[in-house]
A and B are shown apart, each in its own frame.
Chain A
Amino acid sequence: MFTELNVFKLANAMATHAGTRQALVSQNIANADTPGYHARDIKPFSEVFAEDSQPGDMRASRRDHLNGASGQGMDWAVSESDVGTDPNNNSVSIEHEIMKGVEVKRQHDKALAIYKSSMNVLRTSLGRG
């Protein structure tokens, strides 16, 4: 357990994923009235994580290889959706984005809680609990 602290790595990836997605949700809501803007999103963490654990999938050779993603070899490609476009060719639905925002906030809180709890376990085992 102590040579490779996977739980910290996972919590870190989850929090970073939430941060990246939050930036995209903010960008979508900011551009909700911009003509010609299409909503952007990355895959939910569960899908990204499930794909990452499969053997033989595409790996990034460099950190910024796959669309500037900073995940550890995970596919954080930004996709554009154009469903439900408005007359001004804008596909942002504010309700949908707010829902995603709540989801992201909960995911981030969860990741930080996991990190904190693991840190407490580690601290207790060191005898300074």
Chain B
Amino acid sequence: MSDFSNALSVSASALKAQATRLRHVSENISNADTPGYRRKTVSFQSVRDMDTNVENVDVGRVHLDRSDLDKVYDPSHPLADTSGHYEGSNVDLMIEIADAREAQRSYEANLKMFDQTRQMSASLMELLRR
């Protein structure tokens, strides 16, 4: 029985981690046109729960992508320098969309496992009826 609660808790921690990742991805996408914005990246790490010996998933610290900002040519822009360029963001929409899709797939897989564990637990409880 504690196996089921372990499974539920590890799935729940992964759902939370994937949702956080998706939140940062949407933050990046919505700031794709913000001048001077650096994209945020999250990395996952597993944290062992000492009581149950289960490796829960946790998002580590949020990091800023230090790569160079995109130079956009627009002389009429208020932030443009003498050469007519201003610094945009370093968000690559292709990467963000791919990341969002991967997060969604992982979220679905975890949700499926959560549901399956719940079903198994429910059918175990069903034995007590009658």
Contact = CB atoms under 8 A, between A and B. Distances in A.
Residue with the highest number of chain A CB atoms closer than 10 Å, among B1, B44, B106: B44
B54 A27 contact: yes
A25 B119 contact: no
Given A29-B109, A30-B110, A105-B116, A37 B4 contact: no
B7 A22 contact: yes
A49 B19 CA distance: 40
Given A29-B113, A112-B127, A23 B120 contact: no
Interface of A: 15-16, 18-20, 22-23, 25-27, 29-35, 37, 68, 94, 97-98, 101, 105, 108-109, 112, 115-116, 119
Contact of A115 (B54, B112, B127): B127
A123 to B, nearest CB: 9
B55 A27 contact: yes
Interface of B: 1, 3-4, 6-8, 10-11, 13-14, 18, 43-46, 53-57, 102, 105-106, 109-110, 112-114, 116-117, 119-120, 123-124, 126-127
A30 B14 contact: yes
Contacts of A18: 120
Interface of B is mostly: helix
Given A22-B116, A22-B117, A25-B113, A30 B10 contact: yes
Nearest to B43: A35
A22 B56 contact: no
A68 B120 contact: no
B119 A20 contact: no
Contact of A98 (B1, B14, B112): B112
23 contacts: A19-B1, A19-B120, A20-B3, A22-B3, A23-B10, A26-B8, A26-B113, A27-B54, A27-B55, A29-B110, A30-B11, A30-B13, A30-B14, A30-B113, A31-B57, A33-B18, A34-B44, A34-B46, A35-B43, A68-B53, A101-B113, A108-B123, A112-B123
